[in-house]
Amino acid sequence: MLHGEIIVHELFYDVSFAEVISWFIPCYLGIFKETEMCPTLLNGKPVNLITLYQVVKDYGGFKKVIEDDAWNSIAVQCGFDCEDAQEVKITYVRYVDLLEWYFDVMKFKRNEKKKWK
């Protein structure tokens, strides 16, 4: 029922992306421990999802990063080594891209529901 509540909750679309991530990880992905909240690479380095999101956005978005195969640059801008690029990409897809997809789907469903009222 959580998804149904989101569709009609007006403020969901007015909060910052950071607030949405803070909600999404525990409530949607089911990760509750603070140590798990910030994912880590295989070498144990924590990944700040907000920073990762912003660096990819500033580059031109996920599609642009994929088109340019720019994950080395993204990794370095996030404070990692070039060798971490593949893991940074996987982390982005696993957390941030999933959240963006979810947000877009919920927004679409909400708008569709408004059309029928």
Domain at 14, CATH number: 1.10.150
How confident is the model over 82-106, as a mean pLDDT? Answer: 84
Range of the domain at 99: 2-105
Place of tokens 């690479």: 41
| pLDDT, tens digit, 9 for 90 and up, residues 8-66 | 555 555 566 666 666 666 766 665 554 455 677 778 888 888 889 889 989 999 999 99
Please choose, from the candidates 57, 109, 100, 65, the residue with its C-alpha nearest in 3D space to the C-alpha of residue 86.
Answer: 65
What is the value of pTM for the model shown?
0.64
What is the tally of structural domains in the chain? 1
In order, the DSSP letters of 27-93 are HTS---SHHHHS-B-TTS-B--HHHHHHHHHHHT-HHHHHHHT-HHHHHHHTT--GGGHHHHHHHII
Residue 35: predicted pLDDT: 47
What span, in angstroms and rounded, lies between the C-alpha atoms of 87 and 40? 9
Tell me the two tokens of residue 100: 């963006």
Residue 98 maps to a domain: yes
Residue 92 maps to a domain: yes
Residue 112: predicted pLDDT: 75
